A and B are shown apart, each in its own frame.
Chain A
C-alpha cells in the first residue's frame, strides 16, 4: 500500500514545481485528451507524448524511476486489459491458433496500443502529483471549479473534503497498522483460509477503523469550529496563485503536443501551414 505514488510529492524546486497548480491541472487534462486523440495504430503520436513526458521529467527534476514506479499500482489492470485484447480479438491475420485460443496481429496491436495509452496517462498524471503538493492541488481544483458556484456547486467544500481526505491517508494507514497488530495479538489470522474466511477476518479491522474515523471527524470539526471556520464566505488565500512565463511556456509545449498528434493523425491540412509565414 505504501508504494502508491498518488499524493507522494517529490520535494525539489524546479520549473514545473513552480508552475501554477491550476495551469498544471488543465495541462494534464489536455495531455490526457491528446493521448486519447491518437488514432488507432498511429504509434508516432505516442512517440510525441513520450518525448513530451521525458522533457517534462527533466524540467521537473524528478527521477524517471519515480514516474515509472507509478505504473506498479495499475500493473494488474494493464495486464488484464491486454490479455482481453489478445485472446478475444477475432479480426486480423491469425498468428497462432490452438484449441479455442486464437491470437491475431490486430489483437496484439490493440493490446500494445491500449497498454501504451494507459501507461502514458498514468505517468503523466503522476507527474502532476509529484510536482504539486496536495494543498496546492486542492486550491487549484477549488479555483478551477469556482465558476460552477454560479449554479450553486460547493467548490470550496469540495476542495476542503479532498484535502482533508488526502491529509488523513497516512493517519489512517498508521491506525490500520495498529489495529492489525492488536487483533493479531488476540490470535486473528489474516493469512490463511479461503477467500470468504479472509474477508470475514477483516471485520475486526474495519469496524474499529470506521469508528476511529468518525471520532477523528468529530474532533476535526470541533477544532475547525473552535477556530471560527465558517466556510468559503469571505475567506482569503494564504498563497495567491499567479500565472508566470513558466505557465505560458507549459501551455505552448502542450499545444505543440496536441498539434503534433493531430498532425500524425493526418488531421492537419498542409495548406494551412503555408499561410502562416505571410
Chain B
C-alpha cells in the first residue's frame, strides 16, 4: 500500500476564533516496503498525522487529500466512513503505551478481539491458528501465556501482547506511536529486532514515531521530519541528518553516528557511511586501512 498525503491540514477546533492547525499542509509519500521513522518536536503534528492513516481522524473539509492504497480518505461525504473498518484492518495502529488498552480476561481473547471484529466469519480453528501465529511472532510462548490474564504479565510482555492483537489481523501497514517509550536499552533493542522480524514476515510497511534519533537512524530506511505541522525534510537518513545545524534549529538532537562523523570531519577525517552503527564502524575501518587515519 502506497500512502500519499497532499496538503493535508487538520485543526482540532475548526470553529475556534484563533484556530491553530495541528497540520498545516503535510506532503508525504510513503512507499510500500518503507520502514519510515517520523521525528519532530512535541506538538509538531506527528501523532495527528498518523491518526489520519486509518481514519481515526477524518480528513476535514478543504483539508487536502490522502490516499492510502486504494482508499481515498479525502473529505467527500458521510458515506466514505463505511470503508474505515476495512481500512483499519489493513493499517494496524499501535498507540503509545499500548499495554494500557488490554482488557480481556485472557491473553488469547485479548489478541482475538481485533480478529473477531474484523473477520467475524472465521472458524474457531482459524482464529486459534491466527492468534497462535501472532503471539509466537511477538516472541511470546503461546501455550505459556494464552490462558493467563494480560494483567499478570510484565510491562514488556504486555506491550508484545498488545502488538500481537494488532498484527493478528495481518495488516499491510503497521503504524507505531513511540513504540519504545518506557523500555530499557535492552528492551529497546529487542523490540526493534522484533519490528524487523515482523516487517520481513508479516507486514509490508512500518511507520514509527520516535524521539530517539539513534534508533531512527539505525533502523529506518526513510526519515520524515515534522516541524510546525509540516514535513520539512524527507528522505534516507544520510540526507536528512546531513545538516547538523538545520537539525539543531529544528530542536532535534543528532544521532551519535552523525555527531561522530562531524567531530572526525573537524579533524580532517572524512567518513562516508549510511549512518548505521555497523556502516559507520566499517567506514572507519576502511578509512584506517586505506591510510586515512
- B-binding residues in A (CB < 8 A): 178-179, 181-189, 203-205, 207-208, 211-212
Residue of A nearest to B162 (CB): A182
User: With A187-B88, A187-B118, A189-B85 as given contacts, are A208 and B56 in contact (CB-CB < 8 Å)?
Assistant: no
Q: Can you list 21 A-B pairs with a CB-CB distance of less than 8 A?
A: A178-B100, A182-B93, A182-B95, A182-B98, A184-B56, A185-B93, A186-B101, A186-B113, A186-B114, A186-B165, A186-B166, A187-B114, A187-B118, A187-B169, A204-B103, A204-B104, A205-B103, A207-B103, A208-B101, A211-B100, A212-B100
Q: Which of B93, B101, B104 contacts A179 (CB 8 A)?
A: B101
A238 to B114: give the CA distance in the assembly, Å. 51
User: With A178-B95, A204-B113 as given contacts, are A185 and B103 in contact (CB-CB < 8 Å)?
Assistant: no
User: With A208-B103, A212-B100 as given contacts, are A185 and B95 in contact (CB-CB < 8 Å)?
Assistant: yes
A204 to B166: give the CA distance in the assembly, Å. 15
Residues of B within 8 A of A189 (CB): 85, 117
Tell me which residues from 124 to 176 in chain B have a Cβ below 8 Å from any Cβ of chain A: 151, 165-166, 169
Residues of A within 8 A of B102 (CB): 208
A204 to B151: give the CA distance in the assembly, Å. 14
A211 to B166: give the CA distance in the assembly, Å. 21
- Given A182-B98, A208-B102, 11 other A-B contacts at CB below 8 A? A181-B56, A182-B101, A184-B88, A186-B101, A186-B114, A186-B166, A186-B169, A188-B113, A204-B103, A207-B103, A208-B103
- Nearest Cβ distance between residue A154 and chain B, in whole angstroms? 32
Residues of A within 8 A of B54 (CB): 185
Which 9 residue pairs across A and B have the least CB separation, nearest first?
Answer: A187-B117, A186-B114, A185-B93, A207-B103, A182-B101, A187-B118, A204-B103, A182-B95, A181-B56
- Nearest Cβ distance between residue B14 and chain A, in whole angstroms? 15
Residues of A within 8 A of B104 (CB): 204
Q: Is B24 an interface residue (CB 8 A)?
A: no
Residues of A within 8 A of B85 (CB): 187, 189
Q: Is the CB of B118 within 8 A of A185?
A: no
Residues of A within 8 A of B100 (CB): 178-179, 182, 208, 211-212
User: With A208-B100, A211-B151, A212-B100 as given contacts, are A186 and B95 in contact (CB-CB < 8 Å)?
Assistant: no
Q: Is the CB of A203 within 8 A of B103?
A: yes
A181 to B169: give the CA distance in the assembly, Å. 17
Query: Which of the four size classes fits the interface of chain B?
Result: 20 to 34
- Nearest Cβ distance between residue B209 and chain A, in whole angstroms? 14
A172 to B102: give the CA distance in the assembly, Å. 17
Tell me which residues from 68 to 114 in chain B have a Cβ below 8 Å from any Cβ of chain A: 85, 88-89, 92-93, 95, 98, 100-104, 113-114
Residues of B within 8 A of A207 (CB): 103
Q: Is the CB of B103 within 8 A of A181?
A: no
Q: Which of B89, B92, B101, B151 contacts A183 (CB 8 A)?
A: B101
Q: Is B11 an interface residue (CB 8 A)?
A: no
Residue of A nearest to B57 (CB): A181
Residue of B nearest to A175 (CB): B100
Residues of A within 8 A of B151 (CB): 211
Q: Is the CB of A188 within 8 A of B166?
A: no
A178 to B47: give the CA distance in the assembly, Å. 12
Residues of A within 8 A of B56 (CB): 181, 184-185
Q: Is B51 an interface residue (CB 8 A)?
A: yes
Residues of B within 8 A of A186 (CB): 88, 101, 113-114, 117, 165-166, 169
Residues of B within 8 A of A184 (CB): 56, 88
Task: Give the one of A184, A185, A204 with max B CB within 10 A.
Answer: A185
